[in-house]
Amino acid sequence: MRSKSTAILLCFFGGCLGIHKFYLGQNVAGVLYLLFCWTFIPALIAFIELFVLITLSDIEFNTKYNQGVTNTSGAVSAKDATSALADLKNLFDSGVITAEEYEEKRQNLLKFL
């Protein structure tokens, strides 16, 4: 899974060579950056992309570069969501949370499936 902070660092330090493009899985763009690095055009584009990467939210970054994985905002996979739902049900059954809390948290978990 690709990290947003790693992509930002690679863009800052190796953007003119397209290192961040290779990291993000855009190999054709990375090769183009390497071919044209002597023109400083890739450095200018990487400077702009640096700010784009910084301003992307984690959800947008994961949607674009990690095929929609949303590990920073909820369940990562159906298996994790199922396990979280089971834990939530156990809390409800044991009386730790109310029915309203249970339903609210269940709806939040189901949004990410």
Whether residue 70 is contained in a domain is answered as no
Question: What was the pLDDT predicted at 56?
Answer: 87
Question: What was the pLDDT predicted at 70?
Answer: 53
Q: Does the pLDDT of residue 84 top 70, yes or no?
A: yes
Q: Please answer whether residues 37 and 43 qualify as being in contact, where contact means their C-beta atoms are separated by less than 8 angstroms.
A: yes
How far does CA 110 lie from the centroid of its chain? 19
Domain around 90: 78-111
Question: What was the pLDDT predicted at 108?
Answer: 79
Q: Are residues 88 and 48 in the same domain?
A: no
Q: Give the C-alpha separation, 2 to 4, whole Å.
A: 7
Q: Please answer whether residues 20 and 49 qualify as being in contact, where contact means their C-beta atoms are separated by less than 8 angstroms.
A: yes
Question: What was the pLDDT predicted at 69?
Answer: 58
Sequence-distant (≥ 6) Cβ neighbours of residue 49 within 8 angstroms: 11, 15, 20
Q: Are residues 42 and 87 in the same domain?
A: no
Structure tokens at 108: 């939040």
Q: Are residues 91 and 57 in the same domain?
A: no
Q: Does the pLDDT of residue 75 top 70, yes or no?
A: no
Q: Are residues 82 and 55 in the same domain?
A: no
- CB hemisphere CA count around 55 (13 angstroms): 6
Question: pLDDT tens-digit profile of 5-40?
Answer: 999 999 999 999 999 999 999 999 999 999 999 999
The mean pLDDT value of the chain amounts to 85
